[in-house]
Amino acid sequence: MPQDYPPGRGRVRLEAAGIPIEGVSIAGHESFYKLPTLRTLLEFGRAPEDVVGFSTVCVSHGHLDHAAGFAHFASRRRLAELPTARVYVPDEAALLFEQWIDACQKLEAIEYAIEIVPARPGDRVRLRNDLELTVLPGRHRVPTVGYLFSEIRHKLRDELAGIDGSEIAARRASGEEVTRREDIPLLAYPGDCSAEIFDACPELFRTRVLLLECSFLAEDDRARAKDYAHIHLDDILARADRFENEVVVLTHFSQRYGAEEIREALRVIPEPLGRRILPFLP
Ligand SMILES: [Zn+2]
Ligand SMILES: [Zn+2]
């Protein structure tokens, strides 16, 4: 029987700093990540049954290992009569996604409940009262954006600390702003990217969880990483002291590597970063 995945690769379920992430990511093959607590599906390189229920999807770029599941997703949501799903795609790729889905609708002679939303760096979307999505810049061979999920808290303004609750309620009722907004960057995902991303988007170093591709590990894959605008392990080693993240989930490893080979290669990452690295492996 032919196997879908290289040995030791395939479906992954893990928790990074309290954030569950489930999916598959193999470079050039298939990537998708379910983020149930962030109410979002990242990518749909394939659309297995358990991703069809997500009504918010963030796609980083048009490479089909990240996007091929789109038509399948749209068609099956229609079949299940699910409400409109919002699919964020890079602004420059939005028209092509529209044309693709339009062709599929014509092939099937039905209309999908899909809203394609062009994403531009800096855009902010409220996903829930306490959860915001920010579009980040991307750096890859085709138009790409990244995504940042932030928890939004409203804290009592410092100068009101110690004041009686009824007094605060009265001030609020009179229109005074009694709280200040606090953004907690929970998880960032820059999509497929070259090492240029670290200068283009330095906030990656400061999120609680960073979901970062590391397609290539081997020494003789350095040129390949550069040619295809992907991260090589060396790019991470060169910046090892800059990652302030609680957890760095490394993902999107090439299908050339087996799971053991990947774990072995990551052992060279020095402390204190080494212990905060979590490979996206089963
Ligand atoms: Zn990819
Ligand atoms: Zn790509």
Query: What local confidence, expressed as pLDDT, does residue 4 receive?
Result: 84
Question: Which ligand does the CA of 213 lie closest to?
Answer: 1
Per-residue pLDDT at 2 exceeds 80:
no
Ligand nearest to the Cα of 141, by number = 2
Q: Rounded CA gap, 131 and 121, in Å? A: 18
Distance 10 CA to ligand 1 centre (A): 15
227 Cα: distance to centroid of ligand 2 (angstroms) = 12
pLDDT at residue 36, rounded to an integer: 97
Gap from CA of 166 to ligand 1 centroid (Å): 55
Question: 275 in helix, strand or coil?
Answer: helix
State the ligand closest to the CA atom of 255. Answer: 1
The pLDDT, as a whole number, for residue 249 is 98
Decide if 87 contacts 94 (C-beta within 8 A).
no
Its pTM stands at 0.94
Considering the chain, what is the average pLDDT of its residues? Answer: 96
**How far does the centroid of ligand 2 lie from the alpha carbon of residue 140, in Å?**
7
Banded pLDDT at 160 (limits 50, 70, 90): confident
> What are 228-277's pLDDT values in tens digits?
999 999 999 999 999 999 999 999 999 999 999 999 999 999 999 999 99
- Pairing mode, if any, of strands 56-58 and 85-90? parallel
pLDDT digits (tens, 9 = 90+) for 95-117: 999 999 999 999 999 999 999 99
Note the pLDDT tens digit of each residue in 223-241.
999 999 999 999 999 999 9
Identify the band that residue 46 occupies on the pLDDT scale cut at 50, 70 and 90: very high
Ligand nearest the Cα of residue 24 is 1
Rounded distance between C-alpha atoms, residue 155 and residue 157, angstroms? 6
Residues surrounding ion ligand 2 at CB below 5 Å: 63, 192
Q: How many other CB atoms are there within 10 angstroms of residue 213's CB atom?
A: 25
> Which stretch of DSSP H or E encloses residue 94?
helix 94-108
Question: 214-218, long-range: CB within 8 Å, 24+ apart, which pairs?
Answer: 214/250, 214/251, 214/252, 214/253, 215/27, 215/252, 215/253, 215/254, 216/254, 217/253, 217/254, 217/257, 217/261, 217/262, 217/265, 217/266, 218/256, 218/257, 218/265
Residue 161: its pLDDT value, please?
86
